[in-house]
Amino acid sequence: MASAKSPSEIARETLKLLATRRLPPTPDHYQALYDEVAGTTSAPAFPGAQLRQISRVIPGQTPAQKRLLGLLETAITQQDWGVLQNVLVGYANLGLSPVAAPEPASTRIDHLPLTLAQNLARLVDNTLPALGEDDARVHELAAQLSTFLREPDPPVSTTELMLGNFSYRLSFAAEDQAAIRLSLLSLLRLVFENIAALSMDDEWLHGQAEALLAASTPPLTLRRLDDVQRRLKDVIFKQTEAKERTVHAQMQMRELLATFIERLAQMDESSSAYNTKMEDCAERISQATQLQDIMPLLEEVMAATRAMALSSRVTRGELQELRERTEAKHAEIDHLRQELDRASAQARHDPLTGSLNRKGFAEAMEREIARARRQDAPLCVALLDVDNFKSINDRLGHTAGDAALVHLAQVTREVMRPQDQLARYGGEEFVIILPDTELAEGVKAMERLQRELTTRYFLKDQERVLITFSAGVAQVEGEQGSADAIRRADQGMYLAKRTGKNRVVAA
């Protein structure tokens, strides 16, 4: 029931109550006590200022979000609780929470820093090439996020929402791509293993299959795949050429054998005809009663005998010629088979430098480890990396870079011992196997090689180029394998690079 007091009396009593109850004189407290004194109930004040602050951070990227944001502006302007309710329900249906707990003013960041926003945009752009084109939705979300991050002062709350949506979709796309890569790699290895199993008697094909198996063994790097691809192309070309020549020689051999069999058949036919002729003549001679009847038969026998002798001489000559041609073809096939063997051996050697490749190194390393354990002998491995190789390529060209690697390999083979083995580990990295060598001796051997390189410059168009390298040396210990020794040698090489290059570090 409304009070009969005048507004001025109600206001005075309201102020007295504020003082008596020691309440801060805020509009909310005043309104509450005024209603208490007057006996009325006021409509709640519309929080326009607070809602406008919320509207500045609510996302408005999609058409639905833009429509709801426009309705929110209308509700604030008209102070319409009904429209505001519809807006909140609409955002709830979108799965968004437009009202967040306010953060302390001292720690809250409303907008992303410019550098952070640009780095996030570049991260999104650089992620997409690895995903392929299968998932159109993740590309759409990425494009929206990248565009939004490049706008001036992107709000943090909107960034969090869009980044969360993108990362959620990205996780599925990344899982799909990883599964596809693993499946393709498994299929390739299955094909290579089947080729290797079915080609045990075909050395050149078996060599290619083993090389492909090695190339498809994780971990995979682009540099490793490029090296294997170049080497394998060269091997395939040489093996195909030798294979075609072998097939041609085998066809010629089959033709010779067919001619040989044909000549033998002709001899058999001639011999059978001669025997038949002799039997006929003998029968007729036995029946003759006069000398004049025998003379023609004797002449016939002589003529048949001369023809048989002539045919035998011709056939013997042809058979002798066939024999000589057959022996020549046998020798040619043996020669081609040796060429195939040499081509297959290249599957274990680097075609550029002539040193072992990674597969050849792995096999040689296992042999040396087994020998060292049997004889209780020391074994070291050195990992070399050419210093500033990229600058050589950039300044002199890739052809000169290849020639520099050949120069390094040639000097190394001339300086090192006959039992030492050089392998190209990848790119400008080389590995040297040092049998019967203690760690300190291995370091000294690499330092001798470094000194030798300082006296033997690499020449390019009359320009003398000094080739140096950084190296790490590790000794194979106990039951540890080559992988551990290479890992430690790689750590030593990396330390040599960091401490000035052209150094040797024992690992």
Q: Report the run of H or E that residue 460 belongs to, with start and end.
A: strand 458-460
Tell me the torsion sign for CA atoms 214, 216, 221, 226. positive
Q: Which two tokens stand for residue 221?
A: 């790097």
The residue type found at 219 is P
Give the span between the Cα atoms of 463 and 206, in whole angstroms.
Answer: 44
Q: H-helix or E-strand containing 434? A: strand 429-435
| Strand 379-386 relative to strand 429-435, pairing | antiparallel
Sign of CA dihedral 181, 182, 187, 192: positive
Phi, psi of 442 (to 5 degrees): -65, -40
User: Which amino acid is it at 476?
Assistant: V
Contacts of 169 (CB under 8 A, 6+ apart): 135, 137, 138, 141
Q: What do you get for the CA distance between the two ends of the chain, in Å?
A: 94
Phi first, then psi, for residue 396 (nearest 5°) are -110, -15
Other Cβ atoms less than 10 A from the Cβ of 236: the count is 16
Q: Clarify whether 438 is annotated catalytic.
A: no
* C-beta separation of 430 from 378 below 8 A: no
At what angle are helices 439-455 and 398-415 packed, to 10 degrees?
130
For residue 484, count CB atoms less than 10 angstroms from its CB and return exposed for 0-12, middle for 13-18, buried for 19 or more: middle
Write the CB contacts of 87 (distance below 8 Å, at least 6 apart in sequence).
Answer: 68, 71, 72, 75, 98
What is the SS3 string spanning 200-225? CCCHHHHHHHHHHHHHCCCCCCHHHH
Which of 210, 339, 368, 428 is an active site residue? 428
Q: Which residue has the tokens 């509009």?
A: 27
What contacts 355, CB < 8 A, 6 or more positions away? 349, 409, 413, 422, 423, 424, 430
- The DSSP code for 473 is E
Given its phi and psi angles, is residue 221 left (phi above 0), alpha (psi -120 to 50 degrees) or beta? Answer: beta
Chain centroid, CA 266 distance in Å? 63
Per-residue CA distances from 57 to 77, 99, 474 (Å): 18, 10, 59
Beta partners for residue 356, in sequence order: 349, 423
Q: Are strands 458-460 and 463-465 parallel, antiparallel or unpaired?
A: antiparallel
Residues recognised as catalytic: 428
